Amino acid sequence: MSNIEYDNNSEKGSIKIADDVVGIIAGLAATEVEGIAGMSGGIVGGIAEILGRKNLSKGVKVEVGEKEAVIDLYMIVNYGVRIPDVAWNVQENVKKAIENMTGLSVVEVNIHIQGVSFHTLAKEEDNK
């Protein structure tokens, strides 16, 4: 695990932020967006696995340079959403959260849709 280190030659010292911290920020910001069912842990037996809130950083790949970051998010969307709109909202929310919290410049936020969740559809049918 590498760390982000800001060395601004100040008398106060340096700041180190672990890559996992950036991944958790990205995962939380992504799951705040309406239409996202959750982060994906990969495809098991042809079905995308939804990760719980404790494993948010596992659906996130982070590449951090000295002052820039590239984020890859592996996600599952809810059935019926317009995927391009949801993906754009995720990109904006993740970029804003990481830049505000870490001071890094986010160059790319790449979205990988791994599956569609029918969970909300099943709940609606049960209520009928």
Instruction: Please state the domain extents for the chain.
Output: 3-126
The closest of 72, 59, 79, 70 to 107, measured between CA atoms, is 70
* Interior/surface letters 65-85, b for 16+ CB within 10 angstroms, e for the rest: eeeebebebbbbbbeebeeee
Give the model's pLDDT for residue 1.
Answer: 47
Are 110 and 74 in contact, with CB atoms under 8 Å apart? no
Q: What is the CATH number of domain 3-126?
A: 3.30.70.1350
Task: Using a pLDDT cut of 70, give the percent of the chain over it.
Answer: 73
Q: What is the DSSP string of 59-74?
A: GEEEEE-SSEEEEEEE
Residues 73-105: tens digit of each pLDDT = 999 999 999 999 999 999 999 999 999 999 999
The closest of 56, 68, 109, 58 to 87, measured between CA atoms, is 109
The closest of 54, 45, 57, 73 to 20, measured between CA atoms, is 57
Give the model's pLDDT for residue 66.
Answer: 82
Report helix, strand or coil for 5. strand
Distance of CA 93 to the CA centre of its chain: 9
Q: Is the pLDDT of residue 71 over 80?
A: yes
Beta bridge partners of 116: 77
Residues 21-41: tens digit of each pLDDT = 999 999 999 999 999 998 887
d(CA 58, CA 114): 14
Mean pLDDT of 53-69: 80
Look-up: residue for tokens 């049960």?
Answer: 126
Task: Using a pLDDT cut of 90, give the percent of the chain over it.
Answer: 53
Greatest mean pLDDT range, 5-9, 25-29, 42-46, 58-62:
25-29
Mean pLDDT of 48-59: 62
Mean pLDDT of 48-58: 59
Q: Is the pLDDT of residue 126 over 80?
A: no
